[in-house]
Amino acid sequence: MATIGKALVIGAGIGGLTTAAGLLRQGIECEVFEARPSPGRLLTGGGFMLWHNAFLALRRIGLDEAVAAGAVRMRFHEFRSDSGRRLARWPLDGPTQRAGAPACALRRSVLHTVLTEAVGEHRIRLGRRLTGCAEDADGVVAHFEDGSTARGDVLVGADGLRSTVRTSMRGGFEPPPRYAGYTAWQAVTRLPGESLVPTGTFFNLWGKGGLRFLYCRLNEEEVYWDAITSDRAAAGIDTLRLTRGAALSAAYRDWPDPVGEIISSTGEEAILPVPIHDRPPAGGWSKGRVVLVGDAAHPMTLNLSQGAGQAIESGVVLADMLGRCEPDDVPATLRAFEEARRPRAADMVTTSWRIGTLGLAHSAALCRLRDVMMYAFFDSVARAQSYSLMLDDRLERAPLRTAEPLGRRAG
């Protein structure tokens, strides 16, 4: 049984709730504080991919099967050009079998609901905006905008890209996140049937002029999509006089089916523009009894679909290390957590950023060269490198003490 009495978790997103679920499994009581007055987009937002490594981490806290039950298993990752030419096709059944865990597409709300149930709604305090935190001889105290306070043995900052906890740790000043130069227009649309979007394939289309388009089926009725536009491309997308849907339809009018039909089927209110940011890899995730996880520690661009996966991994590892920690050893344990996790997260941040730069090409000649390189190397070299990074054994080497793992789920 853990000897730490209580943890304060700031942020009720994926990283915060995963950490809290892991801590509770270790016998450490938690309170989770969320600035928003309601879960909002966490319960109604779009979809995303969770790869094998995320399910392996979720298995450590007994939640992999519950998440997979609400997801659709991906069997192929297919890369195409904006002319419809197939550039690469990665079969995922083999990696799924080797990892003993699937790659899946799902709604964000599915994962959030499973994590919320694991933590318990009674432990989640909505509408509690952190203003700062301070340590004393007895632990750490969180101060909130409404004048309330909370005390714990450790405070976990899981409050996202523009983390208040991160800024507080750095004396009130933190450089802004690094803008990647492109926006993801994300949406879920109702598009039943298999004729346009077959189940089990994640489609990744690369175009000219700084445009990309990603899509996959989430279930029998719904399709998730991302239209990624560079700043230069976005300058030609007239959202002042046109609706978002009409403007994107115009920008992608020459792309192959079913891109146009996916966009035109989507309601205006469902299309959410998300400017993409990260932070260059850096240390300083912990200070005394305060530590960062998820986007507060290692935000990354969307190009590897690993933002959620790395938040899950960090939450699981942190919870286990704190579960074996004496109260006086919290600062040293948090430093050890950063040492265990930072190299892997830094690899993800750097690789994802580099992939994103490929999509910024505007010259037709450069885009043709990129497509030739993808056709020649993505089915071999790029695939091997991606899986080497994704299924790196550093998570397995991190000290973990959990209940017996669930049986391996291949689909």
- Using the structure block, give the residue that is written with the tokens 């339809």: 249
Q: Quick one: DSSP state of residue 86?
A: E
Report the relative pairing of strands 149-152 and 139-144 from DSSP bridges. Answer: antiparallel
From the candidates 182, 215, 252, 387, give the one annotated as an active-site residue: 215
Assess whether 215 carries a catalytic annotation: yes
Distance separating alpha carbons of residues 398 and 345, to the nearest angstrom: 13
Strand, coil or helix: 22: helix
Which among 320, 292, 301, 349 has a CA at the least distance from the CA of 59?
320
Reading phi first (left if > 0) and then psi (alpha if -120 to 50, else beta), residue 266 is in beta
Q: Quick one: DSSP state of residue 365?
A: H
- 86, 79 Cβ separation under 8 angstroms: yes
Which among 296, 285, 183 has a CA at the least distance from the CA of 244?
183
What residues contact 58, with CB distance under 8 A and at least 6 apart?
Answer: 18, 64, 67, 312, 316
Distance separating alpha carbons of residues 214 and 326, to the nearest angstrom: 46
What backbone torsions phi and psi does residue 274 show, to the nearest 5 degrees? -125, 105
* Residue type present at position 22: G
- 76, 95 Cβ separation under 8 angstroms: no
Distance separating alpha carbons of residues 91 and 410, to the nearest angstrom: 14
Distance separating alpha carbons of residues 188 and 56, to the nearest angstrom: 26
> Any idea which residues carry the catalytic annotation?
215
